[in-house]
Structure 1
């Protein structure tokens, strides 16, 4: 037990070392401000956003092709044009945007981000380029009940996690219960299904939903706020003074020429394109792409998960105590931490030292997680093989390697096939967690379709059917091979 504890402590020391290297790397990068120089030398301005917040940023499906559009995207294009570089857009959850720039995944983050005092402690901000004001969305059936924000006292208020609206609802609405969610699309669905009474949201976004969904109405927030914290600004990594200064020049031009009104008008036209045809068949390419990535992640993670699992299981039976301790520590640590945290750590934590793309990061995290569970399944299978098999193989003069390869493992896999099948099926569903770092799997595409079409339930139903088809097909395949194994036995 003491030796296992020692091995676990060693793993924690290694993790602490990674964080230390990350901190040193980040501090050394911030020591000299080369933010603008790096962008120009690269010829690309890398921007992260969460494209589920019309009219600021959202995806449009036109003539079978999809792209990210919106007022914020036009602002970013203006900045990139003035810097004479190409704009590269990366998508991820809103609550990961600031982490992305802090860890060097992008040069700037845009997404209707309010430059609050708390956020300014962690990142740099440009000047505010647009102030749309704060509003609440309510159901049309509640217009007589909630005539103004004053009537929301004691109500259940929804707001996107990590936003200004979430904090304001807690501070400004007396006796209210505030519920936070990662996606604005989830919040709108919660509102329409009466899980919440009102939704705190930026005024332009509220207007966009009201125009496209007659079941929703908008009321003013009545907030009196610090003008330096309300409105949208662009976020940058701390110490990016030269890049911030260059971007502020573009924002000065945007304000002088009142370009945000033009950008909003353009976003409105795109939103009309989305609502012309909101059938799920019209968005079949979105779902098809999501299925493609889900299958890819599942297949790759299954292969490496089994490989890691076999290695860990064999390490558990090694005579080398340090190998056994390492395998036990790894398995316990991985099984004791959420997959979501592991995905974030691989992408943002390790990614600071080695810049790993989102898709590969997701595959690595899911593979490492699956390997720990597969290892225990295989270990159980090896233990289930009768000792007489080992004795018979030894009497035939088989080496330990051949014994494991030709006698133990084949019988073990036969015994554990149903359990492995369950792990593979679970992997298809659990891989959906990679959407939080912007991997375009089925869940990611589902949220995009919901944001584009203003339909909350139908995209979810389609995704459920697609997951069922994938898992049912895999179940049939696994059962086929299980039957062949039984027949062979």
Structure 2
């Protein structure tokens, strides 16, 4: 059996390597012909990805019950779309997924205060820099006398968004500092305010926005001496998108000529005021309701498909066929041995190179596939818990093996594993929050948007926590009720 398992794992590894090679080949081939502008014009849509948690560059506005991404970057994207006579389509996801989305063809452009560093230029093409707001540090106002310049930050804890220029600069230019990276600016702000960080590296316009809306914060200049070709915001496009880059640059030239970025910043300020007029959680209730709807949808569908897949894998495990048993074992071990976050990103970005799967569907597929592996082990344990005498009695009655499994073994197995299966469903609700990294507007995603819009770091998290508790508590009581019914029926 060990030899069979090793062979199956080896075969599975070879299949994965072949899949990655195919993806790489497809990625390389897409660079051969530049149809970037032509595709946008034929589609009549310019698809742009952004992370709407970075005011005043991009943020979400809740006005008259309607949610919309606003900010200076969105005005730039709208300008390019108008010049191309196409419709602007904005997709939201975490900042560290933006360039991946471009490389895998999920979008035409990525915009979000992205600095065109030399490292990034190796993976994507960039437009001209359309705005350079400079670099600053956010500090707690109570530390204003202690930290008056970058020199004072030596041997301190510095925060910066993961994968950003600010992160690299802090590591290189602040001696003795311990640099902490996080995906969300809102998380970094919270870490700063709770004194887990001494300072936060951030672009000056965003620093100004936070200082203006949060009286407990202050800002100091970075004092960096930087290469002008790497500093400032530019638009990222897929490698080889020469025609689309040229089209974007034409619009950027007009933006610079007429100094439109100042107008865009002024407009952003107006929309930011809309968010801060009422920062109560009741005002943002529609956000949380929408998040609950998506969380429930993903959890229910993933639970259903996870059970179907789990039962199938468990039955394959008891098959006489060595191949089928090997497939079941290999799948279960591989899925359980890799993080759900990686699986979500692979389904959305990796498989997306071959088949363009929407973010929501990708999240449901990934969570279902993950859950199926765990459910399979739970069901296998349940089948093994059924006494052999039950199978022998069913066989003496003339039942076929499939009927015996269907009418005798599985019903008893599900009764035995109901508590464990219930725990898996509850865990699934909480673990499904990982889909927010690809822009699925679940509860965690919406909570982060509210944090960015209201400049309140803790309260949206608290509200999300209470909602998760209510959902899981209600589900636990429901599962316990049915467990009691099963025991009574037994």
TM-score by length of 1: 1.00
Given that 1:139 and 1:192 are in contact with CA atoms closer than 8 Å, whether structure 2 keeps it comes out as yes
> What stretches of structure 2 of length at least 5 have no aligned partner?
none
Query: Which is worse superposed, 8-17 or 457-466?
Result: 8-17
Q: Which residues in structure 2 correspond to 1:249-288 (within 5 Å)?
A: 249-288=250-289
- Partner of 1:90, secondary structure, is strand
Deviation at 1:65, TM superposition (A): 1.6
| Corresponding position of 2:486 | 485
Query: Which ranges of 4 or more aligned residues in structure 1 deviate by more than 6 Å?
Result: none
Q: Which residues in structure 2 correspond to 1:20-39 (within 5 Å)?
A: 20-39=21-40
Distance 2:125 2:205 in 1: 24
Deviation at 1:61, TM superposition (A): 1.1
| Corresponding position of 2:364 | 363
| Corresponding position of 2:401 | 400
**1:423 to 2:424 alignment:** yes
Deviation at 1:486, TM superposition (A): 0.5
| Corresponding position of 1:157 | 158
Distance 1:485 1:409 in 2: 14
Given that 1:40 and 1:85 are in contact with CA atoms closer than 8 Å, whether structure 2 keeps it comes out as yes
- Partner of 1:461, secondary structure, is helix
Distance 2:238 2:95 in 1: 16
TM-score by length of 2: 0.99
| Corresponding position of 2:76 | 75
Distance 2:162 2:100 in 1: 14
Q: Which residues in structure 2 correspond to 1:198-217 (within 5 Å)?
A: 198-217=199-218
Given that 1:435 and 1:441 are in contact with CA atoms closer than 8 Å, whether structure 2 keeps it comes out as yes
Q: CA offsets per residue over residues 297-346 of structure 1, 9 Å max, x none?
A: 00000000000000000000000000001100100000000000000100
**1:3 to 2:4 alignment:** yes
Distance 2:304 2:382 in 1: 18
Q: Please, what is the CA RMSD of the aligned residues?
A: 0.5
| Corresponding position of 1:244 | 245
Given that 1:158 and 1:187 are in contact with CA atoms closer than 8 Å, whether structure 2 keeps it comes out as yes
| Corresponding position of 1:115 | 116
Deviation at 1:225, TM superposition (A): 0.1
Deviation at 1:480, TM superposition (A): 1.0
Q: CA offsets per residue over residues 431-473 of structure 1, 9 Å max, x none?
A: 0000000000000000000000000000000000000011011
Query: Which is worse superposed, 145-154 or 249-258?
Result: 145-154
Distance 2:276 2:337 in 1: 45
Distance 1:65 1:44 in 2: 22
Given that 1:18 and 1:350 are in contact with CA atoms closer than 8 Å, whether structure 2 keeps it comes out as no
| Corresponding position of 1:379 | 380
Deviation at 1:3, TM superposition (A): 1.1
For this pair of structures, how many residues does the alignment match?
Answer: 489
Q: CA offsets per residue over residues 75-104 of structure 1, 9 Å max, x none?
A: 000000000000000000000000000000
- Partner of 1:205, secondary structure, is helix
Deviation at 1:26, TM superposition (A): 1.6
- Partner of 1:135, secondary structure, is strand
Distance 2:83 2:336 in 1: 49
Distance 1:175 1:20 in 2: 41
- Partner of 2:274, secondary structure, is helix
